[in-house]
Every structure is written in C-alpha cells, then in structure tokens.
Amino acid sequence: MKPGLLIALALVAGGAFAQVEVKELPTRPDVTIRFVYARAENPVANAVLFQGGPGNIGIFPNGSMRVENFLSGGAARFTQNGISVAIVDVPSDRRSLDEFRHTQEHAQDVAAVIAFLRQQNKLPVWAIGTSNGSLSAATAAVLLRERGPDGIVLTSSTTSKPGPAAHPVTDAALDRVTVPTLFVHHKDDACRVTPYGAIPGVMASMKQARVVDLIAVEGGENRGNPCHSGYHQFLGIEATVTQQIADWIKRYQSTGKAGAGS
C-alpha cells in the first residue's frame, strides 16, 4: 500500500455507521506505519490504540486484522462511545514491537499517528495501551511531550519481566509522565506478568501526572490463555469496560478531575 492511500469501509457501531479507513503514513526515512482509522459520528475525543503481545496485529487492506482482542478489535466499541480511534500495526521495518516499545523511533512513529488525528479535528488525543501496549502509550507521553498524547489509559498493564515476551510499563520513565493517566485492570487478572496487586505501586510512582486514577474491573469470562484471553482481555465485558474508559475520558475532559466511579 502506498503512503496516503485510504480505503473507506462501513463499520456498524451500535446501530450507527462509523467510517473506517486504512491509512499508511511515512514516519521515519523509508519507514511507514499502517493503521485502521475509525471515525466516530460525533466525536468528543480521539485515541491511538496499542495492542499487547508483540503488537503485530496484521492489518489487511480491507480493514480486518489477523489479531483482534480487546483493543485491536475495539473500533466499533470506541466509536459508539464518541471516540475516534487509530489502531496501529508494527512499522514497516519491524516484525514485532518487542524491545522497541520504549525507543525514540517507536515514539516517532506514534507522533505521526497523533499528528494525523489532530489534523482531523481539534479534539484531545489519548494513547490507550493494553498489556505490553501500555508501554507504548507511556513511552509516547514521556518522550513526545507536546507532540504526544493529551492523556493515557493503561489497561491490563505488564509489570514484570520473567522472559523476553514481557515488556513492563515501568520500562518507561513513569515519574516523568505529566498527562492525566487512567489504569484499567481486572481484579482477577491471571496472567503472571500483569498481576492486579502490582498496580497501586506503579500508580504511586507517577508523582508528576496531573491525575492518576484506577478502574478496578470485576466479572466477565475466565477461559482461554490467561495472558491472551479471559479476564486479561476483559472477555465478555468488552463493551462495558470500553464504556467505562470513554466515560472517564469525557468526565476528565469536562471537569479536569479524576473519579472512576468504581
């Protein structure tokens, strides 16, 4: 796909249609990044979504993906809640985001997507990551500053590194994050690198962030691989959790105050 090529599709979101485009942008010399852009009918915010694992979700020209989990498969859920989203794949010079999520090059790729969203409207841009993807969102906030997101949402965040597949959010200099931050974590997350009990300590390290809040999730379906499904991916309650995130963003944007209501 050539840079700048758009493929328009129709996405049904709760009875309303949201326009979907597959976009590819140049980010660094000889490097491009592909993402799915889903525009809400009456947006109140924008978000860049970072899937976990190795991050290579495999976006096809028709907008479908090889990997669709909580965030990568969340276009309709977010647009239904008034948030236009860019769901990013790995850049053209990478097969995965392993050992890359906390680098300046990754931040530069993200900056291009954030700039694209800001060109579409004047609304705030949030970076939302899940599992390993939380590191991508936090890195953007730390390294990009004014070119970075207006706030970040860190869901099912990786906090330990027992092996090469885990990339903790703490690899970013969280004490340098200044933007509002929301953590979303299932109380019974069974993935060994994303224990719920580690989240309060991570939150406490973010002393410069304007707001640090937590939505503690309960319920859903506990089945499948504990790091790729089940509570870790908010299985069975994806719509509810997405709405909670969207409501928190709207509340913060309107009042400038925290308050997860959970």
- Render pLDDT for 186-222 as a digit per residue (tens, 0 to 9): 999 999 999 999 999 999 999 999 999 999 999 999 9
Which residue spans within 140-261 are E strands per DSSP? 151-155, 181-186, 212-217
Name residue, tokens 């976990």.
52
pLDDT single digits (tens) 91-147: 999 999 999 999 999 999 999 999 999 999 999 999 999 999 999 999 999 999 999
**How is 24-93 classified by DSSP, letter by letter?**
EEEEETTEEEEEEEEE-SS-SEEEEEE-STT----B-TTS-BS--STTTT-HHHHHHTTEEEEEEEEETT
> What is the mean pLDDT of the segment spanning 65-74?
89
Please list, residue by residue across 178-199, b when 16 or more beta carbons sit within 10 angstroms of its beta carbon and e when fewer do.
ebbbbbbbbeebebebbebebb
Q: Of the ranges 14-23, 37-46, 134-143, which one carries the lowest mean pLDDT score?
A: 14-23
Whole-Å CA distances, 212 to 143, 154, 175, 183, 216: 19, 11, 12, 8, 13
Closest CA to 26 of 109, 139, 86, 120: 109
In this predicted structure, the answer to whether residue 42 has a pLDDT above a threshold of 70 is yes
Contact between 18 and 76 (Cβ < 8 Å): yes
In percent, how much of the chain has pLDDT > 70? 91
pLDDT band of residue 10 (cuts 50, 70, 90) is: very low
The DSSP call for residue 163 is S
Closest CA to 158 of 102, 198, 99: 198
Whole-Å CA distances, 34 to 21, 66, 85, 181, 218: 10, 14, 13, 26, 34
pLDDT band of residue 4 (cuts 50, 70, 90) is: very low
φ, ψ at 80 (rounded to 5°):
-60, -30
> What is the mean pLDDT of the segment spanning 84-89?
97
In this predicted structure, the answer to whether residue 9 has a pLDDT above a threshold of 70 is no
Q: Give 13 or 55, the one with higher predicted confidence.
A: 55
* Alpha-carbon gap, residue 71 to 140, rounded angstroms: 17
Angle among Cα 15, 20, 26 to the nearest 5 degrees reads: 160
User: pLDDT at position 164, please?
Assistant: 84
Strands of the 7-13 sheet, one edge to the other: 7-13, 16-28, 31-39, 83-91, 45-50, 125-130, 151-155, 181-186, 212-217
pLDDT single digits (tens) 156-186: 999 998 888 899 999 999 999 999 999 999 9
* Alpha-carbon gap, residue 196 to 193, rounded angstroms: 10
Contact between 189 and 180 (Cβ < 8 Å): no
* Alpha-carbon gap, residue 109 to 103, rounded angstroms: 10
Alpha-carbon torsion angle 219, 40, 48, 189, nearest 10: 0
